[in-house]
Chains A and B, each alone.
Chain A
Protein backbone atom coordinates (compact mmCIF):
# COMPACT_ATOMS: atom_id res chain seq x y z
CA UNK A 1 0.00 0.00 0.00
CA UNK A 2 1.18 3.44 -0.88
CA UNK A 3 0.21 5.43 2.19
CA UNK A 4 3.15 6.48 4.35
CA UNK A 5 1.10 7.38 7.41
CA UNK A 6 -2.31 6.64 8.92
CA UNK A 7 -4.08 8.46 11.72
CA UNK A 8 -6.34 6.73 14.26
CA UNK A 9 -8.85 8.57 16.44
CA UNK A 10 -9.86 7.03 19.77
CA UNK A 11 -12.42 8.87 21.91
CA UNK A 12 -13.01 6.44 24.76
CA UNK A 13 -11.13 3.69 26.54
CA UNK A 14 -14.20 1.68 27.50
CA UNK A 15 -17.11 2.82 25.37
CA UNK A 16 -20.29 2.87 27.39
CA UNK A 17 -18.73 2.90 30.85
CA UNK A 18 -19.01 6.71 30.73
CA UNK A 19 -19.79 8.92 27.72
CA UNK A 20 -17.06 10.40 25.52
CA UNK A 21 -16.33 14.12 25.85
CA UNK A 22 -17.73 15.88 22.80
CA UNK A 23 -15.38 18.89 22.51
CA UNK A 24 -12.14 16.96 22.07
CA UNK A 25 -13.91 14.40 19.86
CA UNK A 26 -15.06 17.15 17.50
CA UNK A 27 -11.57 18.69 17.49
CA UNK A 28 -10.14 15.30 16.57
CA UNK A 29 -12.69 14.65 13.83
CA UNK A 30 -11.91 18.06 12.33
CA UNK A 31 -8.35 16.84 11.64
CA UNK A 32 -9.83 14.15 9.33
CA UNK A 33 -8.45 10.91 10.83
CA UNK A 34 -8.29 7.75 8.69
CA UNK A 35 -10.03 5.54 11.27
CA UNK A 36 -12.34 6.06 14.25
CA UNK A 37 -12.05 3.27 16.80
CA UNK A 38 -12.79 2.35 20.38
CA UNK A 39 -12.67 -0.60 22.68
CA UNK A 40 -15.89 -1.21 24.58
CA UNK A 41 -14.94 -4.05 26.88
CA UNK A 42 -13.15 -4.96 30.03
CA UNK A 43 -12.78 -7.89 32.37
CA UNK A 44 -12.35 -5.30 35.11
CA UNK A 45 -16.03 -5.27 35.91
CA UNK A 46 -16.05 -8.70 37.49
CA UNK A 47 -17.67 -11.91 36.25
CA UNK A 48 -21.34 -10.96 36.68
CA UNK A 49 -21.93 -9.25 33.29
CA UNK A 50 -20.35 -12.10 31.30
CA UNK A 51 -22.05 -14.79 33.37
CA UNK A 52 -25.48 -13.17 33.36
CA UNK A 53 -25.16 -11.85 29.77
CA UNK A 54 -25.69 -8.20 30.69
CA UNK A 55 -23.82 -4.90 30.35
CA UNK A 56 -22.77 -2.60 33.17
CA UNK A 57 -23.09 0.32 30.77
CA UNK A 58 -26.49 1.96 30.30
CA UNK A 59 -27.79 1.74 26.73
CA UNK A 60 -28.08 5.52 26.51
CA UNK A 61 -24.34 5.96 27.06
CA UNK A 62 -23.47 3.19 24.61
CA UNK A 63 -25.74 4.71 22.02
CA UNK A 64 -24.40 8.22 22.63
CA UNK A 65 -20.87 7.23 21.71
CA UNK A 66 -21.84 4.93 18.84
CA UNK A 67 -23.91 7.75 17.35
CA UNK A 68 -21.11 10.30 17.59
CA UNK A 69 -18.60 7.90 16.08
CA UNK A 70 -20.84 6.53 13.32
CA UNK A 71 -22.08 9.90 12.10
CA UNK A 72 -18.52 11.30 12.03
CA UNK A 73 -17.06 8.21 10.36
CA UNK A 74 -19.69 8.12 7.61
CA UNK A 75 -19.35 11.84 7.01
CA UNK A 76 -15.57 11.47 6.60
CA UNK A 77 -16.00 8.21 4.69
CA UNK A 78 -13.57 6.35 6.97
CA UNK A 79 -13.92 3.00 8.75
CA UNK A 80 -15.30 2.80 12.28
CA UNK A 81 -14.26 -0.12 14.47
CA UNK A 82 -15.58 -1.14 17.89
CA UNK A 83 -14.11 -4.04 19.86
CA UNK A 84 -15.51 -6.06 22.77
CA UNK A 85 -19.04 -4.76 22.30
CA UNK A 86 -21.10 -4.01 25.40
CA UNK A 87 -18.48 -4.69 28.12
CA UNK A 88 -18.22 -8.45 27.67
CA UNK A 89 -18.08 -8.95 23.90
CA UNK A 90 -20.69 -11.71 24.22
CA UNK A 91 -22.93 -12.45 21.21
CA UNK A 92 -25.94 -10.66 22.65
CA UNK A 93 -23.82 -7.52 23.13
CA UNK A 94 -22.65 -7.64 19.51
CA UNK A 95 -26.28 -7.97 18.38
CA UNK A 96 -27.22 -5.03 20.60
CA UNK A 97 -24.59 -2.78 19.03
CA UNK A 98 -25.37 -3.94 15.49
CA UNK A 99 -28.99 -3.01 16.07
CA UNK A 100 -27.97 0.37 17.50
CA UNK A 101 -25.83 1.04 14.41
CA UNK A 102 -28.80 0.22 12.17
CA UNK A 103 -31.12 2.43 14.19
CA UNK A 104 -28.69 5.35 14.18
CA UNK A 105 -28.10 4.99 10.42
CA UNK A 106 -31.83 5.09 9.78
CA UNK A 107 -32.40 7.98 12.13
CA UNK A 108 -29.70 10.07 10.46
CA UNK A 109 -30.57 8.94 6.93
CA UNK A 110 -26.98 7.83 6.35
CA UNK A 111 -25.96 6.65 2.90
CA UNK A 112 -25.66 2.85 2.58
CA UNK A 113 -22.55 1.21 4.03
CA UNK A 114 -21.12 -2.22 4.70
CA UNK A 115 -21.50 -3.33 8.31
CA UNK A 116 -19.53 -6.32 9.55
CA UNK A 117 -19.50 -8.03 12.91
CA UNK A 118 -18.16 -11.14 14.53
CA UNK A 119 -19.07 -13.32 17.47
CA UNK A 120 -16.55 -14.43 20.08
CA UNK A 121 -18.56 -16.85 22.19
CA UNK A 122 -17.19 -20.37 22.35
CA UNK A 123 -19.41 -23.29 23.32
CA UNK A 124 -18.56 -25.50 26.25
CA UNK A 125 -18.98 -28.47 23.91
CA UNK A 126 -16.21 -27.19 21.66
CA UNK A 127 -13.85 -26.72 24.61
CA UNK A 128 -14.85 -30.14 25.96
CA UNK A 129 -14.17 -31.84 22.64
CA UNK A 130 -10.76 -30.17 22.38
CA UNK A 131 -9.93 -31.36 25.89
CA UNK A 132 -11.14 -34.86 24.98
CA UNK A 133 -8.84 -34.72 21.95
CA UNK A 134 -5.88 -34.16 24.25
CA UNK A 135 -5.59 -30.36 24.14
CA UNK A 136 -4.59 -28.67 27.36
CA UNK A 137 -6.58 -25.56 28.13
CA UNK A 138 -3.71 -23.84 29.91
CA UNK A 139 -4.20 -21.56 32.89
CA UNK A 140 -2.95 -17.97 32.96
CA UNK A 141 -1.64 -16.00 35.93
CA UNK A 142 -0.84 -19.03 38.05
CA UNK A 143 -4.03 -20.99 37.33
CA UNK A 144 -3.82 -24.67 36.61
CA UNK A 145 -5.11 -26.29 33.42
CA UNK A 146 -8.89 -26.17 32.99
CA UNK A 147 -10.72 -29.00 34.74
CA UNK A 148 -13.97 -30.67 33.71
CA UNK A 149 -15.52 -29.39 36.95
CA UNK A 150 -14.72 -25.76 36.20
CA UNK A 151 -15.93 -26.18 32.64
CA UNK A 152 -19.19 -27.69 33.91
CA UNK A 153 -19.62 -24.74 36.28
CA UNK A 154 -19.26 -22.23 33.44
CA UNK A 155 -22.20 -20.36 31.96
CA UNK A 156 -20.51 -18.42 29.17
CA UNK A 157 -17.11 -18.36 27.46
CA UNK A 158 -15.70 -15.73 25.14
CA UNK A 159 -12.51 -16.04 23.13
CA UNK A 160 -10.33 -12.94 23.01
CA UNK A 161 -9.69 -12.12 19.35
CA UNK A 162 -6.40 -10.86 18.01
CA UNK A 163 -6.06 -8.88 14.79
CA UNK A 164 -7.27 -11.72 12.56
CA UNK A 165 -11.08 -11.25 12.44
CA UNK A 166 -10.66 -7.49 12.01
CA UNK A 167 -8.21 -7.90 9.12
CA UNK A 168 -10.49 -10.41 7.43
CA UNK A 169 -13.56 -8.17 7.76
CA UNK A 170 -11.63 -5.16 6.43
CA UNK A 171 -10.58 -7.38 3.53
CA UNK A 172 -14.28 -7.99 2.86
CA UNK A 173 -14.81 -4.27 2.56
CA UNK A 174 -16.27 -3.54 5.99
CA UNK A 175 -16.85 0.14 6.68
CA UNK A 176 -18.17 -0.40 10.19
CA UNK A 177 -17.07 -3.33 12.37
CA UNK A 178 -18.66 -4.39 15.64
CA UNK A 179 -16.35 -6.90 17.31
CA UNK A 180 -16.98 -9.54 19.91
CA UNK A 181 -14.44 -9.92 22.71
CA UNK A 182 -11.02 -8.78 21.51
CA UNK A 183 -7.60 -7.74 22.71
CA UNK A 184 -7.91 -3.99 23.11
CA UNK A 185 -4.84 -3.29 21.02
CA UNK A 186 -5.86 -5.60 18.15
CA UNK A 187 -8.66 -3.26 17.11
CA UNK A 188 -6.09 -0.62 16.23
CA UNK A 189 -3.27 -2.90 15.11
CA UNK A 190 -5.37 -4.74 12.52
CA UNK A 191 -5.93 -1.86 10.07
CA UNK A 192 -2.32 -0.72 10.44
CA UNK A 193 -0.89 -4.18 9.74
CA UNK A 194 -3.27 -4.65 6.83
CA UNK A 195 -2.05 -1.34 5.37
CA UNK A 196 1.50 -2.67 5.46
CA UNK A 197 2.90 -0.98 8.56
CA UNK A 198 5.38 -2.94 10.68
CA UNK A 199 3.82 -5.26 13.26
CA UNK A 200 5.78 -3.89 16.25
CA UNK A 201 4.65 -0.31 15.62
CA UNK A 202 1.11 -1.44 14.79
CA UNK A 203 0.69 -3.32 18.06
CA UNK A 204 2.31 -0.50 19.95
CA UNK A 205 -0.14 1.94 18.34
CA UNK A 206 -3.00 -0.19 19.66
CA UNK A 207 -1.45 -0.50 23.08
CA UNK A 208 -0.99 3.25 23.44
CA UNK A 209 -4.44 4.22 22.12
CA UNK A 210 -6.69 1.61 23.74
CA UNK A 211 -7.50 3.70 26.83
CA UNK A 212 -7.79 7.02 24.95
CA UNK A 213 -6.78 9.99 27.13
CA UNK A 214 -5.35 7.88 29.96
CA UNK A 215 -2.08 8.24 28.02
CA UNK A 216 -2.14 12.04 28.44
CA UNK A 217 -1.78 14.46 31.33
CA UNK A 218 -3.23 15.84 33.47
CA UNK A 219 -5.32 12.78 34.31
CA UNK A 220 -8.67 12.78 32.49
CA UNK A 221 -10.78 10.02 31.00
CA UNK A 222 -13.02 9.96 27.93
CA UNK A 223 -11.09 12.63 26.01
CA UNK A 224 -10.05 11.99 22.42
CA UNK A 225 -6.49 11.17 21.41
CA UNK A 226 -5.08 10.56 17.94
CA UNK A 227 -2.30 8.15 17.11
CA UNK A 228 -0.34 8.38 13.88
CA UNK A 229 1.71 5.50 12.53
CA UNK A 230 4.50 5.71 9.98
CA UNK A 231 7.07 3.10 9.00
CA UNK A 232 9.42 4.47 11.66
CA UNK A 233 7.40 5.66 14.64
CA UNK A 234 4.11 6.20 16.42
CA UNK A 235 3.08 9.71 17.43
CA UNK A 236 0.28 10.23 19.90
CA UNK A 237 -1.49 13.56 20.37
CA UNK A 238 -4.04 14.72 22.94
CA UNK A 239 -7.01 16.50 21.38
CA UNK A 240 -8.38 18.05 24.55
CA UNK A 241 -7.22 21.65 25.07
CA UNK A 242 -6.68 20.59 28.67
CA UNK A 243 -4.25 17.73 27.99
CA UNK A 244 -0.86 16.89 26.47
CA UNK A 245 0.82 13.61 25.66
CA UNK A 246 4.25 13.65 27.30
CA UNK A 247 6.96 10.98 27.43
CA UNK A 248 6.05 10.37 31.08
CA UNK A 249 2.31 10.14 30.44
CA UNK A 250 2.71 7.88 27.41
CA UNK A 251 5.29 5.64 29.06
CA UNK A 252 3.21 5.62 32.24
CA UNK A 253 0.25 4.31 30.32
CA UNK A 254 2.23 1.23 29.27
CA UNK A 255 2.02 -0.02 32.85
CA UNK A 256 -1.64 0.78 33.49
CA UNK A 257 -3.65 -2.36 34.38
CA UNK A 258 -0.70 -4.56 33.37
CA UNK A 259 1.42 -6.85 35.48
CA UNK A 260 4.52 -5.64 33.71
CA UNK A 261 5.18 -2.46 31.71
CA UNK A 262 7.50 -4.11 29.20
CA UNK A 263 5.54 -7.02 27.75
CA UNK A 264 2.04 -7.48 26.36
CA UNK A 265 0.72 -10.77 24.99
CA UNK A 266 -1.70 -11.19 22.09
CA UNK A 267 -3.05 -14.07 20.09
CA UNK A 268 -0.08 -14.57 17.80
CA UNK A 269 2.73 -12.92 19.68
CA UNK A 270 4.15 -10.60 22.30
CA UNK A 271 4.83 -6.87 22.18
CA UNK A 272 8.14 -6.01 23.84
CA UNK A 273 8.30 -2.36 24.94
CA UNK A 274 11.52 -2.64 26.95
CA UNK A 275 13.57 -0.69 24.40
CA UNK A 276 10.97 1.95 23.55
CA UNK A 277 12.15 5.54 23.48
CA UNK A 278 9.85 8.46 24.07
CA UNK A 279 10.40 12.06 23.04
CA UNK A 280 8.31 15.20 23.11
CA UNK A 281 7.56 15.84 19.40
CA UNK A 282 5.51 19.00 19.78
CA UNK A 283 3.50 20.68 22.54
CA UNK A 284 0.80 17.98 22.70
CA UNK A 285 2.51 15.06 20.95
CA UNK A 286 4.92 12.36 22.04
CA UNK A 287 6.87 10.27 19.53
CA UNK A 288 7.67 6.63 20.29
CA UNK A 289 10.18 4.36 18.59
CA UNK A 290 11.71 1.01 19.35
CA UNK A 291 8.94 -1.49 20.17
CA UNK A 292 9.57 -5.09 19.11
CA UNK A 293 7.17 -7.91 18.32
CA UNK A 294 7.99 -11.53 19.02
CA UNK A 295 5.73 -13.91 17.09
CA UNK A 296 4.35 -16.82 19.13
CA UNK A 297 5.56 -20.32 18.36
CA UNK A 298 2.02 -21.64 18.49
CA UNK A 299 -1.21 -19.76 18.14
CA UNK A 300 -3.06 -19.68 21.46
CA UNK A 301 -6.24 -17.72 22.07
CA UNK A 302 -7.25 -16.50 25.50
CA UNK A 303 -10.60 -17.69 26.88
CA UNK A 304 -12.60 -15.88 29.53
CA UNK A 305 -15.40 -17.72 31.28
CA UNK A 306 -17.85 -16.98 34.06
CA UNK A 307 -20.07 -19.34 36.00
CA UNK A 308 -22.91 -18.82 38.41
CA UNK A 309 -22.22 -19.55 42.05
CA UNK A 310 -25.74 -18.94 43.34
CA UNK A 311 -28.46 -16.49 44.24
CA UNK A 312 -27.29 -13.68 46.50
CA UNK A 313 -28.74 -11.52 49.26
CA UNK A 314 -27.16 -8.72 51.24
CA UNK A 315 -27.61 -7.59 54.84
CA UNK A 316 -26.05 -4.83 56.93
CA UNK A 317 -25.38 -4.14 60.60
CA UNK A 318 -23.50 -1.48 62.56
CA UNK A 319 -21.61 -1.73 65.87
CA UNK A 320 -20.70 1.08 68.28
CA UNK A 321 -19.93 -0.65 71.62
CA UNK A 322 -16.11 -0.81 71.91
CA UNK A 323 -16.33 -4.09 73.84
CA UNK A 324 -18.30 -5.64 70.98
CA UNK A 325 -15.96 -4.12 68.38
CA UNK A 326 -13.03 -5.81 70.13
CA UNK A 327 -14.83 -9.16 69.89
CA UNK A 328 -16.41 -8.77 66.48
CA UNK A 329 -15.01 -12.07 65.25
CA UNK A 330 -16.84 -13.81 68.10
CA UNK A 331 -20.06 -12.05 67.09
CA UNK A 332 -19.64 -13.18 63.50
CA UNK A 333 -18.69 -16.67 64.69
CA UNK A 334 -21.91 -16.88 66.70
CA UNK A 335 -23.99 -15.87 63.67
CA UNK A 336 -22.18 -18.38 61.45
CA UNK A 337 -22.91 -21.15 63.93
CA UNK A 338 -26.62 -20.32 63.87
CA UNK A 339 -26.61 -20.68 60.10
CA UNK A 340 -24.74 -23.97 60.45
CA UNK A 341 -27.32 -25.29 62.89
CA UNK A 342 -29.95 -24.73 60.25
CA UNK A 343 -28.09 -25.66 57.04
CA UNK A 344 -24.91 -27.47 58.10
CA UNK A 345 -21.45 -26.19 57.22
CA UNK A 346 -21.09 -24.21 53.98
CA UNK A 347 -19.68 -27.31 52.26
CA UNK A 348 -22.47 -29.54 53.54
CA UNK A 349 -25.19 -27.00 52.78
CA UNK A 350 -23.83 -25.70 49.49
CA UNK A 351 -23.97 -22.07 50.58
CA UNK A 352 -21.50 -19.24 51.23
CA UNK A 353 -21.59 -16.54 53.88
CA UNK A 354 -19.24 -13.55 53.62
CA UNK A 355 -18.71 -10.74 56.13
CA UNK A 356 -17.03 -7.47 55.17
CA UNK A 357 -16.14 -5.58 58.35
CA UNK A 358 -15.86 -1.91 57.34
CA UNK A 359 -13.95 0.12 59.89
CA UNK A 360 -11.54 -2.76 60.36
CA UNK A 361 -10.60 -4.54 57.11
CA UNK A 362 -13.67 -4.26 54.89
CA UNK A 363 -11.75 -2.95 51.87
CA UNK A 364 -8.57 -5.00 52.03
CA UNK A 365 -9.47 -8.13 53.99
CA UNK A 366 -6.44 -10.15 55.00
CA UNK A 367 -4.11 -7.69 53.20
CA UNK A 368 -5.01 -4.94 55.71
CA UNK A 369 -1.99 -4.14 57.90
CA UNK A 370 -4.15 -2.14 60.36
CA UNK A 371 -6.83 -4.77 60.97
CA UNK A 372 -5.79 -4.96 64.64
CA UNK A 373 -6.79 -1.29 65.06
CA UNK A 374 -10.53 -1.11 64.33
CA UNK A 375 -12.34 2.24 64.29
CA UNK A 376 -14.80 3.43 66.95
CA UNK A 377 -17.68 2.06 64.89
CA UNK A 378 -17.97 -0.77 62.40
CA UNK A 379 -20.26 -1.42 59.46
CA UNK A 380 -20.71 -5.07 58.62
CA UNK A 381 -21.87 -6.04 55.17
CA UNK A 382 -23.15 -9.59 54.91
CA UNK A 383 -23.52 -11.60 51.70
CA UNK A 384 -25.28 -14.94 51.66
CA UNK A 385 -25.12 -17.08 48.53
CA UNK A 386 -27.09 -20.28 47.97
CA UNK A 387 -28.57 -22.41 45.19
CA UNK A 388 -32.06 -20.93 45.57
CA UNK A 389 -33.23 -17.42 46.37
CA UNK A 390 -35.26 -18.69 49.33
CA UNK A 391 -32.25 -20.34 50.89
CA UNK A 392 -29.96 -17.39 50.13
CA UNK A 393 -32.43 -15.10 51.86
CA UNK A 394 -32.60 -17.29 54.95
CA UNK A 395 -28.83 -17.74 55.10
CA UNK A 396 -28.32 -13.99 54.83
CA UNK A 397 -31.08 -13.09 57.26
CA UNK A 398 -29.82 -15.57 59.83
CA UNK A 399 -26.22 -14.49 59.32
CA UNK A 400 -27.20 -10.85 59.78
CA UNK A 401 -29.87 -10.95 62.46
CA UNK A 402 -28.10 -13.44 64.69
CA UNK A 403 -25.31 -10.92 65.27
CA UNK A 404 -27.97 -9.12 67.33
CA UNK A 405 -28.11 -12.11 69.69
CA UNK A 406 -24.41 -12.88 69.96
CA UNK A 407 -23.55 -14.04 73.48
CA UNK A 408 -20.59 -12.04 74.76
CA UNK A 409 -19.86 -12.66 78.45
CA UNK A 410 -19.40 -9.11 79.77
CA UNK A 411 -21.38 -6.98 77.35
CA UNK A 412 -23.18 -4.08 79.03
CA UNK A 413 -25.79 -3.70 76.32
CA UNK A 414 -28.10 -6.67 76.66
CA UNK A 415 -30.89 -5.38 74.45
CA UNK A 416 -29.21 -6.08 71.11
CA UNK A 417 -25.61 -6.50 70.01
CA UNK A 418 -25.68 -4.61 66.69
CA UNK A 419 -27.58 -1.71 65.10
CA UNK A 420 -29.75 -2.31 62.03
CA UNK A 421 -30.42 0.55 59.62
CA UNK A 422 -32.71 -1.87 57.82
CA UNK A 423 -34.47 -4.82 59.40
CA UNK A 424 -34.42 -6.97 56.28
CA UNK A 425 -32.03 -8.38 53.73
CA UNK A 426 -32.13 -7.42 50.08
CA UNK A 427 -31.75 -9.47 46.93
CA UNK A 428 -28.86 -8.45 44.68
CA UNK A 429 -27.42 -9.85 41.44
CA UNK A 430 -26.55 -13.55 41.54
CA UNK A 431 -22.94 -14.33 42.41
CA UNK A 432 -20.63 -15.45 39.62
CA UNK A 433 -16.97 -16.34 39.48
CA UNK A 434 -14.30 -16.32 36.80
CA UNK A 435 -14.08 -19.97 35.84
CA UNK A 436 -11.76 -19.46 32.86
CA UNK A 437 -8.68 -17.29 32.51
CA UNK A 438 -6.96 -19.69 30.16
CA UNK A 439 -5.62 -20.16 26.66
CA UNK A 440 -6.40 -22.73 23.99
CA UNK A 441 -4.37 -23.71 20.94
CA UNK A 442 -5.93 -23.18 17.52
CA UNK A 443 -4.83 -24.14 14.02
CA UNK A 444 -6.67 -21.32 12.30
CA UNK A 445 -6.77 -17.91 13.98
CA UNK A 446 -10.37 -17.46 12.82
CA UNK A 447 -11.71 -20.81 13.99
CA UNK A 448 -13.25 -19.56 17.23
CA UNK A 449 -14.88 -16.50 15.63
CA UNK A 450 -18.02 -16.33 13.49
CA UNK A 451 -17.81 -13.53 10.90
CA UNK A 452 -20.77 -11.74 9.28
CA UNK A 453 -21.09 -8.99 6.70
CA UNK A 454 -24.28 -7.07 5.90
CA UNK A 455 -25.23 -4.00 3.96
CA UNK A 456 -26.99 -1.22 5.80
CA UNK A 457 -29.25 0.50 3.32
CA UNK A 458 -30.78 3.78 4.29
CA UNK A 459 -33.68 2.52 6.34
CA UNK A 460 -32.93 -1.21 6.59
CA UNK A 461 -30.12 -3.73 6.73
CA UNK A 462 -30.04 -6.66 4.29
CA UNK A 463 -28.23 -9.84 5.25
CA UNK A 464 -25.90 -11.27 2.60
Chain B
Protein backbone atom coordinates (compact mmCIF):
# COMPACT_ATOMS: atom_id res chain seq x y z
CA UNK B 1 0.00 0.00 0.00
CA UNK B 2 1.41 3.36 -0.91
CA UNK B 3 2.43 5.58 1.99
CA UNK B 4 0.61 8.61 0.67
CA UNK B 5 -2.81 6.94 0.63
CA UNK B 6 -5.19 9.81 1.41
CA UNK B 7 -7.47 9.75 4.41
CA UNK B 8 -10.55 10.73 2.40
CA UNK B 9 -12.81 8.19 0.73
CA UNK B 10 -12.08 7.75 -2.94
CA UNK B 11 -14.40 6.76 -5.76
CA UNK B 12 -13.71 3.51 -7.57
CA UNK B 13 -13.47 5.58 -10.77
CA UNK B 14 -10.38 7.31 -9.31
CA UNK B 15 -8.70 4.03 -8.43
CA UNK B 16 -9.38 1.77 -11.41
CA UNK B 17 -8.05 2.16 -14.95
CA UNK B 18 -10.97 0.38 -16.59
CA UNK B 19 -14.53 -0.20 -15.41
CA UNK B 20 -16.67 -1.85 -18.07
CA UNK B 21 -19.60 -4.14 -18.76
CA UNK B 22 -20.23 -6.37 -21.75
CA UNK B 23 -22.29 -9.38 -22.81
CA UNK B 24 -20.88 -12.76 -21.86
CA UNK B 25 -23.01 -14.82 -24.19
CA UNK B 26 -26.66 -13.97 -24.74
CA UNK B 27 -27.95 -14.51 -21.20
CA UNK B 28 -25.31 -12.77 -19.08
CA UNK B 29 -23.54 -9.46 -18.64
CA UNK B 30 -20.04 -9.42 -17.20
CA UNK B 31 -18.36 -6.56 -15.35
CA UNK B 32 -14.60 -5.90 -15.24
CA UNK B 33 -12.83 -3.56 -12.84
CA UNK B 34 -9.16 -3.38 -13.87
CA UNK B 35 -6.35 -1.55 -12.09
CA UNK B 36 -3.00 -0.43 -13.44
CA UNK B 37 -1.76 0.28 -9.94
CA UNK B 38 -1.06 -2.87 -7.93
CA UNK B 39 -1.50 -1.07 -4.59
CA UNK B 40 -4.93 0.21 -5.56
CA UNK B 41 -5.91 -3.27 -6.74
CA UNK B 42 -4.84 -4.89 -3.50
CA UNK B 43 -6.47 -2.17 -1.46
CA UNK B 44 -9.83 -2.44 -3.21
CA UNK B 45 -9.71 -6.23 -2.90
CA UNK B 46 -9.10 -5.90 0.83
CA UNK B 47 -11.62 -3.12 1.38
CA UNK B 48 -14.66 -5.34 0.92
CA UNK B 49 -16.55 -2.80 -1.20
CA UNK B 50 -16.69 -5.22 -4.14
CA UNK B 51 -18.12 -8.59 -3.23
CA UNK B 52 -20.90 -10.77 -4.58
CA UNK B 53 -23.18 -9.31 -1.91
CA UNK B 54 -22.29 -5.65 -2.40
CA UNK B 55 -22.75 -5.70 -6.17
CA UNK B 56 -26.03 -7.61 -5.87
CA UNK B 57 -27.25 -4.96 -3.46
CA UNK B 58 -26.03 -2.11 -5.67
CA UNK B 59 -27.98 -3.44 -8.65
CA UNK B 60 -30.95 -4.51 -6.57
CA UNK B 61 -30.82 -8.17 -7.57
CA UNK B 62 -30.67 -11.33 -5.44
CA UNK B 63 -27.18 -12.78 -4.88
CA UNK B 64 -28.19 -15.75 -7.01
CA UNK B 65 -28.23 -13.52 -10.12
CA UNK B 66 -24.44 -13.06 -9.70
CA UNK B 67 -23.16 -16.20 -11.40
CA UNK B 68 -19.42 -15.55 -11.06
CA UNK B 69 -17.32 -13.35 -8.83
CA UNK B 70 -13.54 -13.66 -9.12
CA UNK B 71 -10.36 -11.74 -8.59
CA UNK B 72 -7.83 -12.17 -11.39
CA UNK B 73 -4.33 -11.23 -10.30
CA UNK B 74 -2.54 -11.51 -13.68
CA UNK B 75 -4.69 -8.66 -14.99
CA UNK B 76 -5.15 -6.93 -11.61
CA UNK B 77 -8.88 -7.27 -12.09
CA UNK B 78 -12.05 -7.88 -10.14
CA UNK B 79 -14.72 -9.47 -12.27
CA UNK B 80 -18.32 -10.51 -11.78
CA UNK B 81 -21.07 -11.75 -14.03
CA UNK B 82 -24.82 -11.30 -13.76
CA UNK B 83 -27.75 -13.10 -15.34
CA UNK B 84 -29.64 -10.67 -17.57
CA UNK B 85 -33.26 -9.72 -16.95
CA UNK B 86 -33.90 -10.85 -20.52
CA UNK B 87 -31.59 -12.18 -23.24
CA UNK B 88 -29.59 -9.70 -25.30
CA UNK B 89 -31.64 -7.98 -27.99
CA UNK B 90 -34.94 -9.55 -26.94
CA UNK B 91 -38.02 -7.30 -26.86
CA UNK B 92 -37.63 -4.85 -24.00
CA UNK B 93 -33.84 -5.16 -23.71
CA UNK B 94 -32.42 -1.62 -23.73
CA UNK B 95 -28.72 -2.56 -24.12
CA UNK B 96 -28.03 -5.22 -26.77
CA UNK B 97 -24.28 -5.27 -26.05
CA UNK B 98 -24.66 -4.86 -22.30
CA UNK B 99 -21.97 -2.19 -22.44
CA UNK B 100 -23.60 0.61 -20.39
CA UNK B 101 -24.45 -1.31 -17.24
CA UNK B 102 -21.28 -0.46 -15.30
CA UNK B 103 -22.02 3.16 -14.39
CA UNK B 104 -23.19 2.53 -10.79
CA UNK B 105 -19.76 1.04 -10.04
CA UNK B 106 -18.00 4.34 -10.74
CA UNK B 107 -19.26 6.00 -7.59
CA UNK B 108 -18.55 3.21 -5.14
CA UNK B 109 -16.71 4.79 -2.23
CA UNK B 110 -13.54 3.18 -0.99
CA UNK B 111 -12.68 4.26 2.54
CA UNK B 112 -9.02 4.66 3.46
CA UNK B 113 -7.73 1.67 5.46
CA UNK B 114 -7.58 3.75 8.66
CA UNK B 115 -11.33 4.29 8.50
CA UNK B 116 -12.59 0.79 7.86
CA UNK B 117 -12.69 -2.55 9.53
CA UNK B 118 -10.52 -4.97 7.59
CA UNK B 119 -12.34 -8.02 6.38
Residues in A with CB closer than 8 Å to B95 are: 363-364
User: Closest CB-CB distance, B60 to chain A, in whole Å?
Assistant: 7
B79 contacts A437, CB within 8 Å? no
Q: Are A47 and B79 in contact (CB under 8 A)?
A: no
A21 proximal to B (CB < 8 A): no
B36 touches A248 (CB 8 A): yes
Q: How many residues from A make CB contacts under 8 Å with B?
A: 48
A369 and B104: CB pair below 8 A? Answer: yes
Q: Which residues of A contact B77 (CB under 8 A)?
A: 252, 255, 261
Tell which of B68, B92, B96, B100 touches A259, judged by Cβ atoms closer than 8 Å. Answer: B68
CA distance A251 to B77 in the complex (A): 10
Report A225 CB to chain B, min CB distance, Å.
17
User: Could you tell me the distance between the alpha carbons of A437 and B101 in the complex, rounded to whole angstroms?
Assistant: 22
Question: Does the CB pair A259–B59 fall under 8 Å?
Answer: no
Number of A-B residue pairs, CB cutoff 8 Å, is 143
Partner of B72, one of A47, A141, A255, A368: A255
Contact of B60 among A248, A256, A366 (CB under 8 A): A366
Cβ-defined contact, B100 with A364, below 8 A: yes
Q: Is B43 an interface residue (CB 8 A)?
A: no
A254 at the interface (CB under 8 A from B): yes
Q: Which residue of A lies closest to B25 (CB)?
A: A141
Interface bracket on B: 35 or more
Report the nearest B residue to A262, measured CB to CB. Answer: B70
Which residue of B22, B70, B92, B100 has the most chain A CB atoms within 10 A of its CB atom? B92
Q: Which one of B2-10, B44-52, B81-89, B111-119 contacts A?
A: B81-89
What are the residues of chain B within 8 A of A344 when measuring CB–CB? Answer: none
Which of B68, B88, B91 gathers most chain A CB within 10 Å? B91
Whether B40 sits at the interface, judged by CB under 8 Å, is: no
Q: Which residue of B18, B24, B87, B104 contacts A257 across the interface (Cβ within 8 Å)? A: B24
Complex interface: chain A residues within 8 A of B75 (CB): 248, 251-252, 254-255, 261
Question: B89–A260 contact, CB under 8 A?
Answer: no
In the complex, whether B27 has a CB less than 8 A from a CB of chain A is yes
A44 CA to B70 CA, complexed, in Å: 23
**Would A45 and B24 be within 8 Å (CB), given that A251-B75, A255-B79, A433-B91 are in contact?**
no
Q: Mark A344-378, 1 if CB is under 8 A from B, else 0.
A: 00000000101010000011111111100000000
Residue contact A367 to B85, C-beta cutoff 8 Å: yes
Asked whether any CB of chain B lies closer than 8 Å to the CB of A432, the reply is yes
Nearest B residue to A436 via CB reads B26
Binding site for A on B (CB under 8 A): 18, 22-28, 30, 32, 34, 36, 58-61, 67-68, 70, 72, 74-77, 79, 81, 83, 85, 87-97, 100-101, 103-104
28 A-B residue pairs with Cβ-Cβ distance under 8 Å, sorted by A, are A43-B88, A44-B88, A45-B96, A46-B89, A46-B90, A140-B25, A248-B36, A251-B72, A255-B72, A255-B77, A256-B22, A257-B24, A257-B30, A259-B67, A261-B72, A262-B70, A363-B95, A364-B94, A364-B101, A364-B104, A365-B85, A365-B94, A369-B60, A370-B104, A383-B92, A431-B91, A433-B89, A433-B90
Interface residues of A (CB under 8 A from B): 43-48, 140-143, 247-248, 251-252, 254-262, 276-278, 304, 309, 312, 352, 354, 356, 362-370, 383, 385, 431-434, 437
Known: A47-B26, A255-B75, A433-B91. 16 other contacts (CB 8 A): A46-B89, A47-B89, A141-B27, A141-B83, A252-B34, A255-B79, A260-B68, A354-B91, A363-B95, A364-B104, A365-B85, A366-B85, A367-B61, A431-B91, A433-B87, A434-B87
